Structure 1
């Protein structure tokens, strides 16, 4: 019972935090969930343009983070301003409020799921330290090998693409379909 109450408090807090973004989040939700066939292409196109600009500027890492921070701050300032200018308070309906609450609830549920996964992995340190260290070392060695083999900007591009496409992949059931293909794959039988 306290988990549901805590989740509702998190939803209310997130709603207050995203108050200025509420008019922008409703169309953004339809894009992230691929309600039109061209939405994944638009996501990848915008992301590719952004990373192409970053690649062409060839800035140092700190300068890149500084410019990205300035861009995000500008967007965080301008989006609520534009939304409030374009849409008045009269255009906000009960249906839009329900959609906004559903968006906030989805964000809270995903955040809590990620947090729970991290907690369960960290609790593995107490319950099974050997397994914890084996998994940690394997993951970190794999990350180090991939990071040394592939350009870091390209890795960030792939990570960003996966993160932005993930809601649509889940909504369309693509991940479940691929997962079920592995489940029904033929089993290899070892002969003695």
Structure 2
């Protein structure tokens, strides 16, 4: 069973490498930014996301127009990045070490994708194994989400979500979340006086 999963994962890595072929030169510096290899990388991430959301806020377009504009920008970036990377860096600049890093990036993406998919599947398997727990979790999460989204601006919520998603790999890589959890566990326990 483990061999089948490993073979499937290798197939996924190969497919992803072919899919991201044009982006391979750009992915190596992006990896260092996402994992905060320099002190200023978190500031660059927050600054870029803040600037993009400031533009969205200032333009004050309807939701449909905003989605269309974001889609246009993503298509433009998807078109222009491979063209620029291939014109600036020829095939001779691509070394074996860079290929190894590119494969490591693709493998990491596949592993995280599969983990997320397995967590979603295990959550939905609760529907068959423990329907009461499934509906309690689902309804409470959806009610909480509805309450938060009715209380706070949608653009601000998307800004927070985008920032956290882009900072999360660096937080995990640096061990900040684990250090925070260990601080919580080391905190003195309050004794109730009766």
Cα distance between partner residues in 1 of 2:172 and 2:12 = 23
What does residue range 34-53 of structure 1 map to in structure 2 within 5 Å?
A: 34-53=36-55
Per-residue deviation at 1:187?
A: 3.0
Unaligned runs of 5+ residues in structure 1 are: none
Q: Does 1:90 align with 2:92?
A: yes
What does residue range 102-117 of structure 1 map to in structure 2 within 5 Å?
A: 102-117=104-119
Unaligned runs of 5+ residues in structure 2 are: none
TM-score (norm 1): 0.97
Aligned residue in 2 for 1:135 = 137
TM-score (norm 2): 0.96
Aligned residue in 2 for 1:26 = 28
Deviations along 1:128-167, whole A, 9 cap, x unmatched?
A: 0000000001100110010011100000000000010011
Aligned residue in 1 for 2:102 = 100
Cα distance between partner residues in 1 of 2:168 and 2:92 = 33
Deviations along 1:77-106, whole A, 9 cap, x unmatched?
A: 000000000000000000000000000011
Aligned residue in 2 for 1:155 = 157
Cα distance between partner residues in 2 of 1:96 and 1:179 = 35
3-state SS in 1 of match to 2:97: helix
Count matched residues. Answer: 192
